[in-house]
C-alpha cells in the first residue's frame, strides 16, 4: 500500500476513519504538520466541527499550502470536503480553494430538521471510477448543517429539503459530504475505490 496520510484537523471522526481503513487492511499515518505530507502518496482530510476553527488549525500546523499544492489523490470527508471549497458561510471563512464554490447553511423546513442527520440515498450525477460497485440511490450516513452546491464537479448529489453535493471530484481532489466510515459496506467500497484511484 502506498503511503497514506490521515490529517488530524481536530475532527472527532479521525479515529473512526482510521479504524475503517484498518478494516480494509490499510494503516494510515496520522499527520499534524505540513512537512509530514512530503512523501504522502494519498491524503485523507476528515473533519467534524466548524469551518473557521478547522481552517485556523490547518494554518497553525502549516498544512494549508501543502494541501493546496499537492498533486496526489486527496479525499475530504464531511467538514473536510467543505474545506476543499473556496469559502464557507460558516464563520465566513476562506477555505482551501481547491474547488470553486461557497459552502452554505442548510435551511430547515417543517418536518425537515437541520442539522441533517441520518441515512439518505445518493443520486449519481456523472460517471466516476470512485462510484464503481456502488448502486445509484445507495444509502450513506450524513451529519451536517452546511452543504456545498451541485456544480460541474459534483459526481453524486443528495436531497434534504434542498439538493446539495454529496460527492465531488475535480482532478486529484475528491470530497464526500457523508461519512464513509459510518456508511457500512457502501462506505467501505467508496474508501476502497479511493485507495485504488490514481486521480483524473
Q: Looking at the annotation, which residues are catalytic? A: 78, 179, 181
3-state secondary structure of 160: strand
Q: Name the grid cell of 120.
A: 439518505
Among 16, 9, 15, 125, residue whose Cα is nearest residue 58: 9
Among 62, 79, 83, 71, residue whose Cα is nearest residue 43: 71
3-state secondary structure of 159: strand
Report whether 112 contacts 140 (CB < 8 A): no
Q: Name the grid cell of 168.
A: 465531488
Dist CA 147 CA 116 (whole Å): 10
Q: Name the grid cell of 181.
A: 466510515
Amino acid at each position: 500500500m502506498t503511503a497514506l496520510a490521515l490529517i488530524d484537523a481536530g475532527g472527532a471522526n479521525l479515529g473512526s476513519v482510521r479504524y475503517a481503513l484498518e478494516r480494509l487492511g490499510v494503516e494510515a499515518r496520522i499527520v499534524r504538520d505540513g512537512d509530514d505530507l512530503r512523501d504522502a502518496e494519498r491524503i485523507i482530510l476528515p473533519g467534524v466541527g466548524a469551518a473557521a476553527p478547522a481552517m485556523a488549525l490547518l494554518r497553525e500546523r502549516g498544512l494549508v499550502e501543502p494541501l493546496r499544492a499537492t498533486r496526489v489523490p486527496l479525499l475530504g470527508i464531511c467538514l473536510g470536503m467543505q474545506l476543499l471549497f473556496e469559502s464557507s458561510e460558516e464563520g465566513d471563512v476562506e477555505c482551501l480553494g481547491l474547488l470553486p464554490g461557497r459552502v452554505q447553511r442548510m435551511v430547515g423546513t417543517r418536518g425537515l430538521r437541520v442539522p441533517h442527520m441520518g441515512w439518505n440515498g445518493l443520486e449519481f450525477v456523472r460517471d466516476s471510477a470512485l462510484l464503481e460497485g456502488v448502486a445509484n440511490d445507495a444509502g450513506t450516513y450524513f451529519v451536517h448543517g452546511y452543504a456545498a452546491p451541485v456544480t460541474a464537479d459534483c459526481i453524486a448529489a443528495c436531497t434534504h429539503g434542498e439538493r446539495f453535493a454529496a460527492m465531488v471530484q475535480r482532478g486529484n481532489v475528491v470530497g464526500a459530504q457523508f461519512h464513509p466510515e459510518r456508511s457500512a459496506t457502501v462506505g467501505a467500497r467508496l474508501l476502497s475505490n479511493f485507495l485504488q484511484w490514481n486521480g483524473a
